[in-house]
């Protein structure tokens, strides 16, 4: 009986070892397969053998492995920066988008404008204590890279080194009214579009609210840093961690975004706004953050109610004529804007304007040197309005 037990026991041990051995073999095969899967080229999906490259994904973050052959490709995705091969989209201006980024990009201008409208609402709500962003006299356009690059050569445009957006602001008449032209690169992903629009809206706000003498004395990277600060705050509210990191790590503000974030954390956003309007220095230094409280009295339009909040007089409702009236023409000969009653138009734009106690929908057909041609109220009849001398 003892022999039988020993034999049975030995058999159990042999079976147990066999099970363990099989498990180890299967585990090793699974681990090998997992290692192989994790060592595939991000572009061609082939198993990596020998040397390979590690490339940063500029669209979602992280590092991707790319084989030597794919790394040699000249075709690159505009958004993520990775090589593309085979399955990618080519935009009209020659930009390439990988399959993933093309799927996530906002291609519809209607959808892009809708997103920007929400951003504008969010900006006004979030910064209501400190800033009111221009809205009525803003012309928003989505353009290709050739159009955007050409704007950088036009005098008067404020632009970002990242070539995602550009803003031009023109004063009408005595300078109390402005028209802003915001151009944003088309086919961006939603979070990047939101950040770029917030940045450009801040340029428009500065044109209307920062005295010319102060604006002329501000360092370029400080201006860009402040615009990026507003975009960063918006991205933080929307929990867009990647865009927040992209804003902080981008070096085109030459470190000013980091300094402004540090100053805001210590003294508050309102102090930054006050300093942008009337500070004594052209830029902030991290070793002298307290300089953000140094305000030039000659540039102060109204006394501050508190160290972090400016007092702004309430605006009276904008008076409008009793008839359709052309109040001004601005822009360049290639890209003009017309102010009709209380609204700014560009060629072929349609919108409603107020006159008297009512409003009417008009379409701007043509903007000439001192007149515009329009259609009003759904009529096919054309009208020409001349600039009023009153």
- Predicted confidence at residue 15, as pLDDT, reads 54
Q: What are 52's strand-pairing partners?
A: 67
- Predicted confidence at residue 6, as pLDDT, reads 47
Of the pLDDT bands very low, low, confident and very high (cuts 50, 70, 90), residue 5 is very low
Kindly state the average pLDDT of the residues 117-142: 90
- Predicted confidence at residue 345, as pLDDT, reads 77
Q: How far apart are CA 181 and CA 346, in angstroms?
A: 10
Per-residue pLDDT of 34-52, as tens digits, reads 444 568 999 999 999 889 9
The average confidence (pLDDT) of the chain is: 82
Kindly state the average pLDDT of the residues 12-39: 50
- Predicted confidence at residue 300, as pLDDT, reads 53
Q: How far apart are CA 30 and CA 38, in angstroms?
A: 12
- Predicted confidence at residue 33, as pLDDT, reads 46
- pTM assigned to the model: 0.68
Element (H, E) at 6: helix 2-38
Per-residue pLDDT of 134-158, as tens digits, reads 887 889 999 999 888 887 766 555 5
Least confident stretch, 54-58, 63-67, 350-354:
350-354
Backbone angles phi and psi of 20, in degrees to 5: -60, -45
Q: Residue 291 in contact with residue 284, Cβ under 8 Å?
A: yes
Pairing verdict, β 165-172 and 177-185: antiparallel
Least confident stretch, 27-36, 57-66, 122-131, 317-326:
27-36
Of the pLDDT bands very low, low, confident and very high (cuts 50, 70, 90), residue 332 is low
Token pair belonging to 76? 């690159």
Q: Is the pLDDT of residue 30 over 60?
A: no
Token pair belonging to 65? 């492995």
Q: Which of residues 309 and 16 earns the better pLDDT score?
A: 16
Per-residue pLDDT of 201-210, as tens digits, reads 999 999 999 9
Structure-token match 């300093």, residue found: 275
Question: Cα angle at 103 between 102 and 105, to 5 degrees?
Answer: 65
What's the N-to-C CA distance of the chain in angstroms?
122
Per-residue pLDDT of 311-331, as tens digits, reads 333 334 445 578 888 888 876
Reference 226, options 180, 192, 259, 249; nearest CA is 259
Q: How far apart are CA 246 and CA 197, in angstroms?
A: 15
- Predicted confidence at residue 354, as pLDDT, reads 77
Q: Which of residues 357 and 386 earns the better pLDDT score?
A: 386
Q: How far apart are CA 255 and CA 222, in angstroms?
A: 9
Of the pLDDT bands very low, low, confident and very high (cuts 50, 70, 90), residue 3 is very low
Kindly state the average pLDDT of the residues 283-303: 78
Backbone angles phi and psi of 127, in degrees to 5: -110, 25
Domain extents in the chain: 52-104, 109-310, 326-386
Q: Which of residues 197 and 380 earns the better pLDDT score?
A: 197
| Percentage of residues of the chain with pLDDT beyond 90 | 53
- Predicted confidence at residue 174, as pLDDT, reads 64
Of the pLDDT bands very low, low, confident and very high (cuts 50, 70, 90), residue 16 is low
Least confident stretch, 116-125, 176-185, 217-226, 318-327:
318-327
Q: Is the pLDDT of residue 305 over 50?
A: no
Q: How far apart are CA 55 and CA 64, in angstroms?
A: 5
| CA dihedral of residues 235, 239, 240, 245 (deg, nearest 10) | 80
Q: How far apart are CA 88 and CA 125, in angstroms?
A: 39
Q: What number of other Cβ atoms are within 10 A of residue 171's Cβ? A: 15
Asked if CATH classification 1.10.8 holds for the domain at 109-310, the reply, yes or no, is: no
- Predicted confidence at residue 283, as pLDDT, reads 93
């Amino acid at each position: 009986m003892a022999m039988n037990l020993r034999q049975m026991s030995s058999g159990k041990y042999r079976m147990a070892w066999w099970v363990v051995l099989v498990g180890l073999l299967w585990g090793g095969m699974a681990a090998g397969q997992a290692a192989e899967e994790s060592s595939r080229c991000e572009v061609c999906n082939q198993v990596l053998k020998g040397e390979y490259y590690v490339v940063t994904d500029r669209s979602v973050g992280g590092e991707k492995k790319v084989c030597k052959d794919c790394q040699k490709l000249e075709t690159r995705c505009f958004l993520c920066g990775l090589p593309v091969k085979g399955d990618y989209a080519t935009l009209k201006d020659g930009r390439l988008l990988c399959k993933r980024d093309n799927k996530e990009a906002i291609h519809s201008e209607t959808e892009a404008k809708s997103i920007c409208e929400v951003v504008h609402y969010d900006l006004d709500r979030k910064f209501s204590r400190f800033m009111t962003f221009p809205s009525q006299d803003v012309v928003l356009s989505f353009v290709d890279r050739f159009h955007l690059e050409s704007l950088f050569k036009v005098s008067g445009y404020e632009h970002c080194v990242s070539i995602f957006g550009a803003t031009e602001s023109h004063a009408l008449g005595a300078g109390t009214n402005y028209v802003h032209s915001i151009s944003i690169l088309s086919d961006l992903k939603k979070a990047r579009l939101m950040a770029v629009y917030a940045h450009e809206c801040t340029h428009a706000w500065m044109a209307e609210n920062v005295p010319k003498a102060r604006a002329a004395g501000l360092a370029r990277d400080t201006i860009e840093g402040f615009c990026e600060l507003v975009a960063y705050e918006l991205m933080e509210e929307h929990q867009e961690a990647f865009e927040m990191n992209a804003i902080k790590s981008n070096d085109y503000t030459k470190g000013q975004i980091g300094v402004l974030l540090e100053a805001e954390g210590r003294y508050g956003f309102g102090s930054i706004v006050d300093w942008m309007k009337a500070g004594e220095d052209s830029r902030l230094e991290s070793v002298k953050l307290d300089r953000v409280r140094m305000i030039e009295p000659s540039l102060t339009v109204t006394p501050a109610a508190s160290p972090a909040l400016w007092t702004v007089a309430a605006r009276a409702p904008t008076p409008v004529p009793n008839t359709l009236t052309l109040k001004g023409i601005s822009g360049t000969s290639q890209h003009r804007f017309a102010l009709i009653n209380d609204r700014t138009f560009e060629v072929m734009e349609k919108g409603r304007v107020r006159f008297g106690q009512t409003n009417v929908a008009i379409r701007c057909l043509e903007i000439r040197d001192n007149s515009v041609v329009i259609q009003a109220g759904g009529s096919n009849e054309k009208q020409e309005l001349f600039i009023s001398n009153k």
